[in-house]
Structure formats: structure tokens, C-alpha cells
Amino acid sequence: MDVVNQLRRQFVDYYTSLHREGFVDDQFTQLQKLQDENSPDFVVEVASLFFEDCEKLINNMARALEQQQRVDFKQVDASVHQLKGSSSSIGAMRVKNVCIAFRSFCEAQNREGCLRCLQQVTHEYSLLKNKLQTLFRLEQQILAVGGSIPVVE
């Protein structure tokens, strides 16, 4: 019992810290709510899908921005838009904010700005991935010892 409670407390703290630091927002909480006995791995599935999507999009953007002459800003913008949509669906707040700034650079066709934003996005994304993976590991641990995942409002 102690282990479970400890783990649960750890989970709650970590979850709250993610919120506080702005890695995730309310949307993520909503996703947690959707997880029930019918779809027990809902959040993990969505997160994996998000990571795949992210990597693909970031690669696209990197390739598009690497072109020395005539960067296809439209393509970059499309990718950023996708990324923004995905990140807001999952509740990845920081990533989403970077995407917003990224879009304005795309509209201004500012290559330097875009490259900077791309860097930022990649950075945020890897941070988030780490954090979420830690969170999921904690979840698994709780389940393994027979506890239930606490619902954090």
C-alpha cells in the first residue's frame, strides 16, 4: 500500500509539475478523462501517434528549410500548421506556442527566424517526449503494483 501511495503521490506531483511548467495544458487533462476500461491505453496511443507525427513533420520542415535557394515556405507553413493542430489536440502547450511564432515567421518568409523556431520546436518536442515517457512509466509502475491511476483535476 505504501508503495502504491508513494507511486501515486509521485505521479500526481509529476503531473502537476508538467502542468505548472507549461508542458501540458487542460487539453491533456481532458485526454486523461477519456481513458476508461474500454480504452485503457488511450493517452499512450495518442501520445505515440503525436510523437510519430512530430518527427515526420520536423523532418519535412528541416528538409524544406535546408534548401539554400528558394525555400518553399508554403510547405513549411503547412507542416507547422499540422504540428500546431496536433500539439493543441494533445495539449502540448509549449510546442503549440512555438508553432504559433513559427507560423508568423513563415508568413514573413523569414528563413533565419524559421530555422530558429525549428530548433526550438525540436528542443521542446524532445523535452516533452522525455517528460511524457517518464509519466507513462510511472503509470505502468502503478498498474504493475495493482494500484489505479489517480485522476488529477
Q: Which is nearer to other proteins, 9 or 33 (CB)?
A: 33
Using the rule CB under 8 A, is 81 a contact of other proteins? yes
Rounded Cα distance between 23 and 127, Å, is 9
13 or 72: whose CB is closer to other proteins?
72
> Which one among 7, 61, 90, 98 touches other proteins, defined by CB under 8 A?
90
Interaction with other proteins in 38-57: which residues (CB under 8 A)?
38-39, 42, 45-46, 49-50, 53
The whole-angstrom separation of Cα 54 and Cα 79 is 10
For other proteins, the closer CB: 35 or 147 = 35
- The candidate with the shortest Cα–Cα distance to 102, out of 48, 49, 57, is 57
Q: Please say whether the beta carbons of 25 and 91 come within 8 A.
A: yes
Q: Is 42 helix (H, G, I), strand (E, B) or coil?
A: helix
* First-to-last C-alpha distance (Å) of the chain: 23
Binding part of the chain for other proteins, among 7-15, 24-32, 108-116, 145-153 by CB under 8 A, reads 24-32
Residues contacting other proteins: total by CB under 8 A = 25
C-alpha cell at 131: 517528460
Residues that bind other proteins (CB under 8 A): 26-27, 30-31, 33-34, 36, 38-39, 42, 45-46, 49-50, 53, 78, 81-82, 85-91
